[in-house]
Amino acid sequence: MLAVRYTLDMSQLETKNFSSPDKVMTPSKAKMEIVTLGERTVIKMTFHPGWKWSVDIDPTAGPEKCQRHHFGYQISGVLHTISTDGVEIESKAGDIVDIPPGHDAWVVGENSVEFIDFGGLLH
Residue closest to 114 by CA, chosen among 35, 34, 30, 50: 30
pTM of the model: 0.84
- The yes-or-no verdict on residue 61 having pLDDT over 80 is no
Quick: pLDDT tens for 4-51: 665 556 568 999 999 999 999 999 999 999 999 988 899 999 999 999
Q: Could you tell me how many residues make up the chain? A: 123
Report the alpha-carbon distance of residue 114 to residue 116 in Å, rounded: 7
Domains and CATH numbers, the chain: 23-117 (2.60.120.10)
Report the alpha-carbon distance of residue 35 to residue 31 in Å, rounded: 13
Quick: pLDDT tens for 100-114: 999 999 999 999 999
Looking at residue 94, its amino acid is: G
Report the alpha-carbon distance of residue 69 to residue 66 in Å, rounded: 8
Specify the pLDDT at position 9: 60
